[in-house]
Structure 1
Amino acid sequence: MSDMSREEKLQVWLAAEAEIRARLKPGTMAIADVAALNPLEFFDGIGSGEFPAPPIGELMGFVPIEWSKTSFVFQGVPQMQHYNPIGSVHGGYAATLLDSCMGCAIHANLEKGQGYTTTDLRISYIRALTTKTGPVRAEGRIIHVGRSTALAEGRIYDVDGKLYATGSTTCLILGGK
Structure 2
Amino acid sequence: MSVFDGFVKPPCAETLGWELLEADEDTGAVRVRMQGRREWCNPGGNIQGGFVAAMLDDTLGPTVLVKTGGEHYCATVNLNVSFLAPARLGEFTGHGRIVRLGKSVAFLAGELVDRDGNTVATATATARVVPTGALAKKG
Runs of 5+ consecutive residues of structure 2 not aligned to the other structure? 133-139
In the other structure, the counterpart of 1:72 is: 30
In the other structure, the counterpart of 1:157 is: 113
Give the strand-richer structure, 1 or 2: 2
The answer to whether 1:85 aligns with 2:43 is: yes
Matched ranges for 1:20-169 at <5 A:
41-43=2-4, 45=5, 51-69=7-25, 70=27, 71-110=29-68, 113-131=71-89, 134-169=90-125
Runs of 4+ in 1 over 3 A off after TM superposition: 111-115
TM-score by length of 1: 0.64
Higher relative contact order (CA 8 A, sep 6+): 2
1:57 CA displacement? 2.4
Q: How many percent of aligned residue pairs carry the same amino acid?
A: 26
Give the helix-richer structure, 1 or 2: 1
The CA distance in 1 between the partners of 2:71 and 2:37, in whole Å, is: 37
1:130 CA displacement? 1.6
Q: 1:91-115 CA distances to partner (integer Å, 9 max, x unpaired)?
A: 1221111111111112222266434
In the other structure, the counterpart of 1:4 is: none
RMSD: 2.3
Which residue identity lines up with residue 140 of structure 1 in the other structure? G
- Answer whether contact 2:13 2:58 (CA < 8 A) is retained: no
Runs of 5+ consecutive residues of structure 1 not aligned to the other structure? 1-39
Tell me the secondary structure at the aligned position of residue 101 of structure 1: helix
- Answer whether contact 1:109 1:145 (CA < 8 A) is retained: no
- Of 154-163 and 139-148, more deviation after overlay is shown by 154-163
Which residue identity lines up with residue 3 of structure 2 in the other structure? F
Query: Cα gap change, 1:172/1:126 in structure 2, threshold over 3 Å: closer, same or farther?
Result: same
Query: Cα gap change, 1:87/1:112 in structure 2, threshold over 3 Å: closer, same or farther?
Result: closer
